[in-house]
């Protein structure tokens, strides 16, 4: 059930609108329920050819030789596409906005850097013919040592994953292997804090798993142009990337999309269009390149995993006086968009709280794993998980209600954020108050009266003001004699917080082979 | 080796030639041209391609087309009667039970199989009926609500 | 053996649009000869409702019924540049571009109407139902249809508009991280009630209660779609999903939906949602973007609720029954787990 609370912030809003705010039916709903919405694959072409890709079975290996003679003679095969056929076989997605160096080939040349990396394409009259031809390709590899753990990858002597970034880290500002955030003086604040804790958080990669897999169809059009039907989330992003890789003027490409079967970030990488266009150029025929579900799951870029260390300094009265974050983004073998997410993560530290001393180092790390990419909440989801779990632990440690602890530290209009911009248009406090009321989470009066508005408005006077930054970068006093502070006593009868147990790591069963039964023991059996 | 296949599709006789061993999904989309059926995994694990074969929900991507010879196939393309939407379609619209819309054709057919069999389903019946169909957008609640609405709206059979 | 109930909370905010800005979107709006409008975009609707949200924004700005607007997307020959559908930027960035284009088109429409009615354009207003009239004199009116016909065939005017919205790219200080990452933020608080079975390690989410602040709900039904679906995805991320169950070990990855698990229709729970609107000064009608932030609070709220239920902290996702059981084994199974609250 959804309830609109129009009474809150009503003074900042005009509610005299006619169309905006109405529960109008979706423009595309009739198409959806009648099965007539046209996705990229709902366009039919005579003599459509199909592109399938041979992928590396190794996480890291040198390609010694490729023998595709038998494949090229297989029934239905029209063309083999090799790395040498790709006009510009090195790209990075964000080169369109001049961020980062070209580091990723469309088809691997001498070395493969993750399991599933594309090596060679077969264009055939059916997907089945293409798959059968791929079985005939013989590649000999020299396996190389691989690195999978972000912190292992940063150790001296670690295997170098990507020759463009030989130290396994993206380069920021031409000189640093990470993005820094410096605000106030954390060490001094930690020294004076009543309670200091450092915790480690580990995200899992996850799949976007849209019900429609990534794909595109490239069709030779009149006058040397190509029409491309695509599942992309970013039409010109994909068009310009395809033009660059194919060394074509962008106006030779006509991209059509816009109706997409889910994306969640997994359709930004332009995984299929460049090679579909290349195949159409080389064969003169329409070509479809559609990821199978297995490819989507294993080789389509996942949400990357982040490892985040959070160290907090907290006073007995509930103030967080210092927060230090060290985070590692697992980019996989190539940059894609992870370098961008690192900066977005840094901007988000220390979360929606006003903390006077903040220090962060966030790394974009290369490992021999499928390149990661954007996903719903990119750069922020992991940090929110780490920070909000940390907030809970902090609250337990000082014996305070976890929601009141958040309210006490919540950012408000006029507060200075760690990236040195004034907070405005805040509403965290109101969200917490409304959710608490709805869920019958008891809040004391002074917390129910708080406000996000500058200085809390008249009502906020009910709560003693918290120490806040008046000027950036000046460390805040941590002494309990800070003026206008409300202090919290441990609730009567509360005991000291239980020791925080770290989870013993889950490890693959020894000698396990791949199997669905194994999975049910990991996840629990799938329910309805 | 091409083989001829003939069946009823949404109450019309249709026939086509296909490679022996083709799945029903490919035959419907490529051979007959019914693009209302979507493919999601081609492995029989997501439900997106669900159609009805003689009234039973079937995953068309793992159904051998030749096994459908002479049978009656229903897809979402045949769900509405002329301009009039099926109660399920109306209910899906009213409940905003589709976002990207890609799972919707399969979801509707799975739900239709339920309502044809059980005109007064419980919530549990609905969950059972659609639990093989993956939706990545909606969180399922609006879909369950829509199927229950459709059951209430449909004319009762005696 | 017992089932333990727990409750956890998380509060979050989320930046709207690409970090640092520098992510433009454009829109073109034009009328056909009989006063029906088309919005041309290259923006993508991947289910989030891009077509529908921009349609309502365009209709509101033009002052005409929503049925008289159709959004055409995405064709690179006809739709002008858009950075893409990601980073919660659709409603905010594209919405603003459409608003700018619609304003320009509206100005021409009002000029044309003024010429027909022989008044000053500033004296006219739209009624939102397809008619334009003199302020305070509803009988001195002309339909949008007649205005379009007059503009096209008599006055030689094009009722059309161009719009672009760009948040200028911010620098980042290499030493301090000083930057302007976003112009506005959405907010959320979620409270999760759940149950942990200390014999199987299984976690069952029983109830979610959430408040989301998103500037302006352009369409509350589409907002609800995002919030319900997003928190489902958050729950899925917290408890079910991973292509690498033993990360950073790369083995044992799933190949299909039998092995890659997500909550099904039988795993969902009731969700009470409250929406707040504190308009963003630079949002279209104040709107921010609900699409991404709604998935974020569920992960920590669930982890915190598990602690509340059985006193173990699982700091590695996903929180599988295996991890819960291993943690319980280390901790022991207290009769009464320590309460957070």
Question: Which of B89, B100, B128 is facing A260, going by the closest CB pair?
Answer: B100
pLDDT at C285: 98
Element (H, E) at B57: strand B56-59
- CB proximity list for A177: less than 8 A, separation 6 or greater: A167, A169, A170, A171, A363
Q: Output phi, psi for C302, to 5 deg.
A: -70, -45
The number of distinct structural domains making up chain C is 2
SS3 assignment, position A123: strand
Q: If we measure between CA atoms, which residue out of A205, A69, A212, A85 comes closest to residue C247?
A: A205
Q: Which domain holds residue C130?
A: 25-165
Residue A457 has pLDDT above 50, yes or no: no
Does residue C157 share a domain with residue C207? Answer: no
Lowest mean pLDDT among A453-462, B78-87, B132-141, C25-34: A453-462
State the smallest CA–CA distance between residue A485 and chain C in angstroms: 22
Classify burial at C188, counting beta carbons within 10 Å of its beta carbon; exposed 0-12, middle 13-18, buried 19 or more: buried
B100/A292 touch (CB, cutoff 8 Å), yes or no: no
Q: In terms of domains, do C70 and C10 share one?
A: no
pLDDT digits (tens, 9 = 90+) for C276-309: 999 999 999 999 999 999 999 999 999 999 999 9
* Closest chain A residue to C239, measured at CA: A523
C152 with C42, same domain: the answer is yes
Closest Cα partner for A179 from A418, A10, A374? A418
Give C340 or A13, the one with higher predicted confidence.
A13
Interface of C with B (CB under 8 A): 46-49, 221-222, 224-225, 228-233, 255-258, 262, 264-266, 268, 271
Q: How far apart are CA C206 and CA C271, in angstroms?
A: 9
Span A128-146, average pLDDT: 98
Question: Residue A328: is the preceding peptide bond cis (ω within 30°)?
Answer: no
Per-residue confidence (pLDDT) for residue A1, from 0 to 100: 81
Instruction: Tell me: cis bond preceding A350? Omega within 30 of 0 counts.
Output: yes
Nearest CA-CA distance, residue B54 and chain A, Å: 20
CATH number for position C76: 3.30.365.10
Query: Over the stretch A36-71, which tens digit does the pLDDT of each residue have?
Result: 999 999 999 999 999 999 999 999 999 999 999 999
Pairing of strands C203-213, C271-276: parallel
The owner of tokens 């490239």 is A218
Please state, as a whole number, how many other Cβ atoms lie within 10 Å of the Cβ of residue C171.
9
Q: Which residues contact residue A516 at a Cβ distance below 8 angstroms, ignoring those fewer than 6 apart?
A: C258, C259
* Residues C327, C191 share a domain: yes
- State the pairing for strand pair C160-165/C25-31: antiparallel
Q: pLDDT class for A463, splitting at 50, 70, 90?
A: very low
Residue C99: the pLDDT is 98
Q: Which fold has domain A179-204+303-460?
A: Aldehyde Oxidoreductase; domain 4 (3.30.365)
pLDDT of residue A97: 86
Q: Residue ranges of the alpha helices (H) in A266-423?
A: 273-283, 293-298, 338-348, 381-398, 402-409
Tell me, yes or no, whether C9 and C48 share the same domain. no
| Per-residue pLDDT at C245 | 87
Q: pLDDT averaged over chain C?
A: 96
The size of the B-C interface in CB pairs under 8 A is: 59
Please give the pLDDT value at position A505: 56
Give the end of a domain, one of C131, C165, C199.
C165
Query: What's chain B's length in residues?
Result: 158
* Residue C96: band (very low, low, confident or very high) from pLDDT cuts 50, 70, 90: very high
Min Cα–Cα distance to chain B from A267, Å: 13
Averaged over A122-138, what is the pLDDT?
A: 97
CATH topology of domain B87-153: DNA polymerase; domain 1 (1.10.150)
Q: What is the pLDDT of residue A226?
A: 98
Structure confidence at residue A516 (pLDDT): 34
User: How would CATH label the architecture of B2-77?
Assistant: Roll (3.10)
Predicted local distance difference test score (pLDDT) of residue A293: 96
pLDDT tens sequence across C219-271: 999 999 999 999 999 999 999 999 888 899 888 888 899 999 999 999 999 99
Among B35, B76, B131, beta carbon nearest to A528: B131
pLDDT band at A489 (very low <50, low <70, confident <90, very high): very low
Q: Is C19 close to A343, i.e. CB distance below 8 A?
A: yes
From A208's Cα to the closest Cα of chain B, the distance in A is 9
Q: For residue C173, is it within any domain? A: no
C214 and C305, same domain (yes or no): yes
Report the Cα–Cα distance between both ends of chain A, in Å, rounded: 23
Residues C10 and C43 in one domain: no
Question: Of residues B81 and C112, which shows the higher confidence score?
Answer: C112
pLDDT bracket for residue A503 (50, 70, 90): low
Kindly determine whether residue A438 and residue C274, on different chains, have CB atoms separated by under 8 Å.
yes
d(C-alpha B49, C-alpha B59), whole Å: 6
Residue A525 has a pLDDT of: 35
Provide the terminal-to-terminal Cα distance of chain C, rounded to the nearest Å: 23
- Asked if C335 has any chain A CB less than 8 Å from its own CB, the reply is no
Q: Is residue C248 within 8 Å of B115, Cβ to Cβ?
A: no
* Sheet containing C271-276: order of strands: A2-4, C271-276, C203-213, C185-197, C3-15
Contact call for B100 and A212, based on CB within 8 A: yes
Over the range A287-306, which residues count as b (16 or more CB within 10 Å of their CB) and which as e? bbbbbbbbbbbbbbbbbbbb
Q: Of A205, A169, A325, A29, whose CA–CA distance to C225 is shortest?
A: A29
Distance from the Cα of B116 to chain C's closest Cα (Å) equals: 20
- Domain ranges in chain A are 49-144+208-298, 179-204+303-460
Same domain assignment for residues C32 and C151: yes
Q: Which chains contact A through at least 3 pairs of Cβ atoms less than 8 Å apart?
A: B, C
pLDDT tens-digit readout, A199-247: 999 999 999 999 999 999 999 998 999 999 999 999 999 999 999 999 9
Chain B CA closest to residue C264: B131
Residues A143-169, mean pLDDT to the nearest whole number: 98
Partners of residue A498 in chain C, C-beta under 8 Å: 311, 338
Domain ranges of chain B: 2-77, 87-153
Whole-number pLDDT of residue C198: 95
Distance (Å) from the alpha carbon of A39 to chain B's nearest alpha carbon: 8
Residue A510 pLDDT = 59
pLDDT band at C336 (very low <50, low <70, confident <90, very high): low
Distance, CA of A437 to CA of C272 (rounded, Å): 12
Q: DSSP assignment of C34-62, as one string?
A: TS-EEEE----BSSS-HHHHHHHHHHHHH
* ipTM entry: 0.97
pLDDT band of A467, cuts 50, 70, 90: very low
- Residue in B closest to A42 by C-alpha: B35
Please answer whether residues A70 and A62 qualify as being in contact, where contact means their C-beta atoms are separated by less than 8 angstroms.
no
pLDDT, tens digit, 9 for 90 and up, residues C188-225: 999 999 999 999 999 999 999 999 999 999 999 999 99
- Fold (topology level) of A49-144+208-298: Aldehyde Oxidoreductase; domain 3 (3.90.1170)
Confidence of residue B155 (pLDDT cuts 50, 70, 90): low
Minimum Cα–Cα distance from B32: chain A residue: A44
Query: Which pLDDT tens digit goes with each residue over A336-392?
Result: 999 999 999 999 999 999 999 999 999 999 999 999 999 999 999 999 999 999 999
Residues 101-140 of B with CB under 8 A from A: 101-105, 108, 127-128, 131, 134-137
pLDDT at B124 over 90: yes
pLDDT of residue A365: 98
C256 and C207 part of one domain = yes
pLDDT of residue B47: 98
User: Collapsing DSSP states into helix, strand and coil, what is residue A241?
Assistant: helix
Cβ distance A262 to B102 less than 8 Å, yes or no, reads yes
The residues in C 211-270 lying below 8 A from A, measured between CB atoms, are: 211-213, 216-224, 227, 230, 233, 237, 240-267
C190 with C323, same domain? yes
Range of weakest confidence among A170-184, A448-462, A488-502, C246-260: A488-502
| Domain-located, residue C237 | yes
Which chain C residues are Cβ-neighbours of B140 within 8 angstroms? 232, 264-265, 268
List, for residues C302-318, the tens digit of each pLDDT value. Answer: 999 999 999 999 999 99
The Cα B115–Cα B121 span in angstroms is 7
pLDDT tens by residue, A385-442: 999 999 999 999 999 999 999 999 999 999 999 999 999 999 999 999 999 999 999 9
Q: Are both C126 and C195 inside the same structural domain? A: no
Residue A459 above 90 pLDDT? no
What's the mean pLDDT when you consider all of chain A?
A: 89
Mean predicted confidence (pLDDT) in C4-30:
98
């Amino acid at each position: 059930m959804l309830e609109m609370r129009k009474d809150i912030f009503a003074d900042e809003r005009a509610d005299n609108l006619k169309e905006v705010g109405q529960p109008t039916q979706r423009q595309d709903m009739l198409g959806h329920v009648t099965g007539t919405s046209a996705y990229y694959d709902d366009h039919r072409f005579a003599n459509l050819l199909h592109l399938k890709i041979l992928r590396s079975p190794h996480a890291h290996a040198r390609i010694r030789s490729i023998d595709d003679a038998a494949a090229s003679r297989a029934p239905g095969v029209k063309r083999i596409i090799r790395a040498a056929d790709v006009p510009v076989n090195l790209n990075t997605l964000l080169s369109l906005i001049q961020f980062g160096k070209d580091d990723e080939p469309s088809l691997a040349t001498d070395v493969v850097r993750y399991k599933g990396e594309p090596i060679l394409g077969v264009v055939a009259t059916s997907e089945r013919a293409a798959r059968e031809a791929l079985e005939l390709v013989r590649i000999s590899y020299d396996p190389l040592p691989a690195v999978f753990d972000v912190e292992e990858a940063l150790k001296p002597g670690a295997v170098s994953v990507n020759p463009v970034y030989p130290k396994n880290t993206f380069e920021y500002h031409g000189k640093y292997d990470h993005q820094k955030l410096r605000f106030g003086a954390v060490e001094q604040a930690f020294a004076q804090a009543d309670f200091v804790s450092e915790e480690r958080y580990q995200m899992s990669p996850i799949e976007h798993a849209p019900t429609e897999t990534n794909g595109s169809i490239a069709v030779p059009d009149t006058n040397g142009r190509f029409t491309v039907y695509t599942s992309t989330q970013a039409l010109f992003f994909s068009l310009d990337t395809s033009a660059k890789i194919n060394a074509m003027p962008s106006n030779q490409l006509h991209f059509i999309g816009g109706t997409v079967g889910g994306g969640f970030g997994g359709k930004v990488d332009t995984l299929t269009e460049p090679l579909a266009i290349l195949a159409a150029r080389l064969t003169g025929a329409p070509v479809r390149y559609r990821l199978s579900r297995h490819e989507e799951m294993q080789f389509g870029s996942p949400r990357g995993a982040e490892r985040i260390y959070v160290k907090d300094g907290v006073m007995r009265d509930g103030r967080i006086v210092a927060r230090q974050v060290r985070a590692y983004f697992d980019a996989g073998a190539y940059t894609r968009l992870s370098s961008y997410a690192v900066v977005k993560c840094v901007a988000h530290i220390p979360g929606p709280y006003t903390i006077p001393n903040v220090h962060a180092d966030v790394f974009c790390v290369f490992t021999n794993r499928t390149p990661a990419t954007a996903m719903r909440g990119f750069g922020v989801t992991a940090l929110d998980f780490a920070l909000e779990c940390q907030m809970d632990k902090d609250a337990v440690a000082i014996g305070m209600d976890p929601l009141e602890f958040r309210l006490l530290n919540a950012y408000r209009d006029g507060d200075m954020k760690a990236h040195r911009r004034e907070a405005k248009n805040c509403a965290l406090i109101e969200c917490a108050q409304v959710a608490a009321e709805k869920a019958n989470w008891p809040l004391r009066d002074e917390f129910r009266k708080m406000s996000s508005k500058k200085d809390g408005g008249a009502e906020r006077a009910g709560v003693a003001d918290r120490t806040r930054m008046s000027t950036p970068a000046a460390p805040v006093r941590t002494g309990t004699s800070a003026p206008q502070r409300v202090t919290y006593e441990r609730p009567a009868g509360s005991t000291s917080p239980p020791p925080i147990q770290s989870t013993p790591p889950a490890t693959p069963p020894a000698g396990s082979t791949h199997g669905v039964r194994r999975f049910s023991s990991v996840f629990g059996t799938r329910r309805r | 080796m091409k083989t001829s296949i003939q069946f009823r599709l949404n109450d019309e006789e249709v026939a086509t030639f296909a490679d022996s061993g083709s799945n029903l999904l490919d035959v419907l989309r490529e051979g007959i041209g019914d693009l209302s059926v979507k493919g999601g995994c081609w492995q029989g694990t997501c439900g997106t391609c669900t159609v009805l074969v003689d009234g039973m929900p079937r995953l068309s991507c793992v159904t051998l087309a030749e096994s459908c010879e002479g049978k009656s196939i229903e897809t979402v393309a045949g769900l509405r009667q002329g301009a009039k939407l099926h109660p399920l379609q109306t209910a899906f619209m009213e409940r905003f039970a589709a976002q990207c819309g890609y799972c919707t054709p399969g979801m509707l057919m799975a739900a239709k199989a339920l309502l044809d069999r059980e005109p007064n389903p419980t919530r549990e019946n609905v969950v059972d009926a659609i639990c093989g169909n993956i939706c990545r957008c909606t969180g399922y609640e609006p879909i369950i609500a829509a199927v229950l609405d459709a059951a209430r709206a449909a004319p009762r059979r005696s | 053996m017992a089932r333990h109930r727990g409750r956890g909370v998380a509060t979050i905010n989320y930046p709207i649009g690409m970090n640092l800005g520098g992510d433009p979107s454009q829109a073109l709006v034009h009328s056909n000869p009989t006063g029906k409008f088309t919005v041309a975009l290259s923006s993508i609707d991947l289910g989030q409702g891009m077509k529908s949200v921009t349609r309502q924004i365009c209709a509101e700005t033009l002052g005409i019924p929503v049925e008289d607007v159709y959004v055409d997307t995405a064709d690179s020959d006809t739709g002008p540049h858009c950075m893409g559908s990601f980073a919660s930027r659709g409603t905010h960035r594209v919405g603003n571009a459409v608003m700018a284009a619609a304003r320009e088109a509206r100005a021409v429409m009002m000029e044309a109407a003024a010429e027909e009615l022989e008044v000053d354009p500033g004296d006219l207003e739209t009624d939102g139902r397809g008619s334009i009239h003199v302020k305070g004199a509803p009988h001195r009116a002309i339909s949008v249809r007649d205005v379009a016909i007059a503009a096209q065939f008599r006055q030689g005017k094009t009722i059309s508009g161009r719009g672009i919205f760009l948040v200028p790219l911010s620098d980042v200080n290499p030493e301090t991280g000083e930057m302007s990452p976003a112009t506005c933020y959405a907010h959320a608080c979620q409270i999760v009630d759940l149950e942990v079975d200390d014999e199987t390690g299984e976690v069952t989410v029983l109830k979610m209660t959430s408040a989301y602040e998103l500037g302006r709900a352009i369409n509350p039904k589409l907002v609800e779609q995002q919030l319900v679906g997003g928190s489902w995805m958050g729950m899925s991320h917290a408890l079910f999903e991973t292509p690498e169950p033993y990360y950073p070990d790369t083995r044992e990855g799933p190949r299909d939906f039998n092995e890659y698990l997500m909550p099904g229709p039988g795993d969902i729970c009731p969700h009470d949602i409250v929406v707040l609107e504190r308009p963003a000064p630079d949002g279209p009608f104040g709107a921010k973007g609900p699409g991404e932030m709604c998935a974020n609070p569920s992960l920590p709220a669930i982890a915190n609720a598990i602690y509340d239920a059985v006193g173990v902290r699982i700091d590695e996702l996903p929180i599988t029954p295996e991890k819960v059981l291993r943690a319980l084994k280390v901790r022991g199974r207290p009769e009464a787990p320590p309460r957070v609250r």
